[in-house]
Structure 1
Amino acid sequence: MKTVLISGGGIAGTALAALLSRRGFAPTVVERAPGLRGGGQAVDIRGVALEVVERLGVLERARAHRTRMRGMTVLDGEGREVYRSTESTISSGRLDSDDIELLRDDLVRILHERATEDAGTRFVFGDAVTALDQDEDGVRVSFAHAGPRRYDLVVGADGLHSAVRRLAFGPEERFARHLGTHLAIFSADNFLGLEDWQLWLRDGEAGYGVYPVRDNSELRIAFGFAGEPLPEERRAPESQKALVAERMAALHWETPRLLKALAEAPDLYCDSMTQIRMDRWSRGRVVLLGDAGYCASPLSGQGTSLALVGAHVLADALAEARSRSEGDHRAAFAAYEQRLRPFVELNQALATENPGGPAAEESVERAKNAISLDD
């Protein structure tokens, strides 16, 4: 077990590449996008995941990029203030916590810089896995553009709509559990003049959150609305924009200006809030990591931490198995699942504990620390 192909250059895949290269493996990361993906929401590194980034040597870099919110205001459907807090925000929890909230693209860049410090790590952008052919000695992988290559192992870290999962395990519909809502996130100039302060509005089954980033020069705008999963034909950006605008049109306050920003946004992310539930995360020499295998959805607030902790547990399991004379990947994958599954299940439960908002603080504290990296 030496060569490892990782499909997906997001948080999970990039963290795993950095962790594997330090353990003597030769990881290659293939990412469909032409480069590191920009945009996206603020994400959280919580509990045990903080220890992962510390072991990677990037904890201080992550802290330097953390958001600097002073608090938040919750508004009713007409834009009237109904609640204000200087102790916590909906996106990050308590402001006096050691947990780190930062933008997803900042974290990916930090992890990518760390991974490329090791000469054995290779990144390939603008390509994707299209076929997997396993045998007793390895996996022959076909790509959309490059010629086929063989690897000892393949890791699917390619997100909720994982191609590796589909190729190795079957259609997404077998494993997806829709949570009844959708999330649309995009960036815009700070036309509201917010200064380190979040605004959240909800009216019926729709609402949004708005918060400033990049030293208050930009906004991240997150729309949420109820509905069935998006059909494949509605996943094109312009179709998504039309759907989001339709669902949000009834909201008042600054909604017209926010929808104008949506129409002009170059970086819309829109998807259903869905969890992935699987009986096993490996098949032969293929294994799943992060959202591809056990997406908790953004409603849990723990997707990033699951990706980081999962990467560490998988890297440890592979290194431990290789240190034995047989180097059995099956033993590594079994150990990975045995250690991580209870942690995953506890954190997935956060997404459904409180349908009307974030899970209770004590539930989050318990879930985010429910594993030890050294067990």
Structure 2
Amino acid sequence: MIHDARVLQPQFVPEEVEHRNAEINTLSNTLKPIMDGQSGETSLLLGPSGAGKTCIAKFTVERLRENVLDIDTQYVNCWQDYTRFQVLYCILEGIGQTVNIHRRSTPKDELLDRLQGYDGSQFVVILDEVDQLEDKSVLYDLYRMPTISMVLITNHEEELFSHLDSRLASRLRTCVRVPFEKYHLDELVAILHARARWGLSENAIGNEQLELIADAAAGDARVAIGILRNAARRADQTGAERITTDIVDEAVPDGRQEVRQKTIDQLNPHQRALYEILEEEGELNPGELYEQYEKRVDEPKTNRTVRNHLSKMEHYRLVVAEGKNRARTYRLR
């Protein structure tokens, strides 16, 4: 039944995308100067998880690569590579400049010097989950480099700007914003239909089952694709010729849990500490949670940073926040 498993992976970037023409056109226009050998405008892709931000960023940059001979690109997941050193190292990897760099002994300034000395082709850097950066001053360094064009991805603008100094904030506030909304049910069905057409045998799943998956995903393409992947796996393992409604019903919890676990796996150490405390203690108010957090980590962040971490985890449906101000409590979803 499964002809091409890659198509059912969330990181797969299709040759054609569904229902995001306006967003592609806006982002393409910000990068258009690169075709004339100039740097593009900084762009900020905003919207909920599973709305296609990462896919569209990679898709648009790849189309640019097809039209420009001299261009370098690099994708950085700032949730996984959140330190200044990690970000600079990833970017240098994109231009093959990591020779003789030792992760434990090479000073961060040496990485920056090496990047500032780059005088090659125009360089597009996608910084995904950019609000997760531990040291956001690296954005100012990148902004000042004439050959680098940045595509920034985040869920909420305030999560990014709340930790920027005024110098950097004033520059980034002029960047081109590309807003993304959750997918409607019919849009998710179209996305799933395309994935099924590319990755599964003919007539492996019907429109009724695709609608059930889309409805269960509630506008999140990552969850929808995860459910489809789990349904295809179940059908393949049992030798079924088609993905039935019963198979979809069985795949929904596993598909959701798979996406949830991947999110948990990429939590930074401070977010993971907060998650583990709530897992052990249950519902806590902000003061109780912060007190436990201070005891658990060696270098605790400020209350404000912890609130931002919790907001991020709430956005990704890991944490539930109830009440306001002093009556607010947090618990795992």
* TM beyond 0.5: no
> What is the TM-score of this pair, normalised by structure 2?
0.29
Question: By percentage of residues, which structure has more helix?
Answer: 2
Computing the radius of gyration over CA atoms, which structure comes out larger, 1 or 2? Answer: 2
Question: By percentage of residues, which structure has more strand?
Answer: 1
